């Protein structure tokens, strides 16, 4: 296991380096002057020159690259062009809002999606199954930010049950602000989980050991929950990493719909105000998230399934 962890960690370090290289290349080497991209076509030559000077764009590319990696690895993101605030502090202040949204949405998605999938699979071919499948398909297709906007219109604007914007202060107020955004992302995830649970359970129900359990006279409930569902949940749990990552990208537009603070909001505001160091930091943070989630998932599989870690990988 230690060997396996070591391999994964080495992989993660390589991936982080590759990711940093990608962000660096994307922002400096791609066609288009980064200064013009950052400041817009209307910038004066003096502004462009000042920008290049401050961003170190006049240095040789190799030196820029080393400096960039060195700063990023130490989580030294620099200061915002617009507010001169340190970006690290900005991100740290916004991170809890994104994390609480992700955790809450995950709970909603699991608690709704798994039972819905079980009901759908066990009542296969009935009206209930049909309805669950149609709802899941719609949930699968509706873009998160549109669902969020609809919930906002219905429950915050018309019924006035929830606040329209912001992240809230104090525990209760924060929970109150969390309901609609978490419900939005959670419903989208529930649709995904429901489809996955349904197909996995249907697959397992065809297996021999389920037939054996039935044949020996085990009650239907025991067959489904004890024998079948446990096995069916393996692909669902395996999909966990995928959910977290897709929720991460979904959270960006959801934070925007509900005007919530969060890492996505920092990134989008940076993009819209052409705050180059903020955009760069936001990109690196999201990329780090992906690497961390993937590595945790790899380690989790290794712990669950011994075959994976002895695979010589």
Partner 1 sequence: MSTTTLPSAAVAAVPPAEPSRLRAFLNALTESRVATAALLVILALLAVALLGPTIAPHDPAEQSFLAASKPPSAEFWFGTDRYGRDTFSRVLVGTRYSLLLGLAAPIIAGVTGTLIGMMAGFFGGWIDRVTGRITDLLLAFPALLLGILLAASLGPGFGNLIAAVAVAFLPRFIRVARASTLAVRREPYVEASFAAGQRPLRIIAKHVLPNISGSVVVVATLWVATAIRIEATLSFIGLGVQPPEPSWGNIIRDGLTNLLGSPMPVIAAGGALTLCVLAFNIIGDAVRDALDPEYRE
Q: Which of 9, 18, 222, 237 binds partner 1 (CB under 8 A)?
A: 18
CA distances (Å), 286 to each of 20, 69, 290, in order?
Answer: 11, 16, 6
Between 158 and 307, CB nearer to partner 1: 158
Contacts of residue 31, Cβ cutoff 8 Å, sequence gap at least 6: none
188 is a contact residue toward partner 1 (CB under 8 A): no
State how far the Cα of 167 lies from the Cα of 259, in Å rounded to an integer: 8
- Residue 152: which of 186, 179, 113 has the closest Cα? 179
Phi, psi for residue 196 in degrees, rounded to 5? -65, -45
The residue range among 90-98, 143-151, 188-196, 299-307 that interacts with partner 1, by the rule CB under 8 A, is: 143-151
Residue choice 53, 67, 76, 146 for contact with partner 1 (CB under 8 A)? 146
Between 100 and 275, CB nearer to partner 1: 275
- Interface pick for partner 1 out of 248, 299, 300, 308 (rule CB under 8 A): 248
CA 221 to chain centre: 35
Q: Which of 246, 296, 299, 308 binds partner 1 (CB under 8 A)?
A: 246
- What is the closest distance, in whole angstroms, from the C-beta atom of residue 257 to partner 1 in the complex? 7
- Binding-site size for partner 1 (CB under 8 A) equals 45
Is position 225 an interface residue for partner 1 (rule: CB under 8 A)?
no
Q: Give whichever of 34 and 186 is closer to partner 1, judged by the CB atom.
A: 34
- Window contacting partner 1 (CB under 8 A); options: 54-62, 70-78, 108-116, 278-286: 278-286
Q: Does 150 bind partner 1 (CB under 8 A)?
A: yes
Residues that bind partner 1 (CB under 8 A): 15, 18-19, 23, 26-27, 30, 32, 37, 137-138, 140-143, 145-146, 149-150, 152-153, 157, 199, 242, 245-246, 248-250, 252-253, 256-257, 267-268, 271-272, 279, 282-283, 286-287, 290-291, 294
């Amino acid at each position: 296991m230690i060997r396996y962890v070591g391999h994964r960690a080495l992989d993660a370090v390589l991936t982080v380096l590759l990711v940093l290289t990608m962000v660096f290349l994307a922002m400096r080497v791609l066609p288009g002057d980064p200064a013009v991209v950052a400041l817009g076509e209307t910038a004066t030559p003096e502004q462009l020159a000042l920008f290049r000077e401050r961003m170190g764009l006049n240095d040789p590319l190799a030196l820029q690259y080393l400096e960039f990696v060195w700063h990023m690895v130490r989580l030294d993101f620099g200061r915002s062009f617009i507010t001169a605030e340190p970006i690290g502090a900005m991100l740290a202040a916004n991170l809890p809002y994104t994390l609480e949204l992700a955790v809450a949405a995950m709970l909603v998605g699991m608690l709704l999606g798994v039972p819905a999938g079980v009901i759908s699979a066990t009542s296969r071919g009935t009206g209930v199954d049909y309805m669950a499948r149609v709802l899941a398909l719609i949930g699968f297709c509706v873009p998160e930010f549109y669902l969020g906007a609809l919930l906002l219109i219905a429950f915050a604007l018309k019924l006035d049950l929830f606040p329209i914007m912001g992240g809230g202060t104090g525990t209760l107020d924060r929970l109150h602000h969390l309901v609609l955004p978490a419900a939005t992302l959670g419903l989208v995830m529930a649709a995904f989980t429901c489809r996955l649970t349904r197909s996995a359970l249907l697959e397992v129900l065809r297996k021999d050991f389920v037939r054996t359990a039935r044949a020996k006279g085990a009650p239907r409930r025991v067959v489904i929950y004890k024998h079948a569902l446990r096995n069916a949940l393996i692909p669902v749990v395996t999909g966990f990493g995928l959910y977290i990552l897709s929720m991460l990208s979904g959270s960006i537009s959801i934070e925007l719909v509900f005007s919530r603070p969060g890492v996505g909001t920092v990134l989008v505001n940076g993009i819209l105000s052409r705050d180059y160091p903020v955009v760069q930091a936001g990109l690196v943070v999201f990329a780090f998230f992906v690497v961390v989630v993937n590595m945790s998932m790899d380690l989790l599989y290794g712990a669950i399934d011994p075959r994976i870690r002895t695979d010589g990988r």
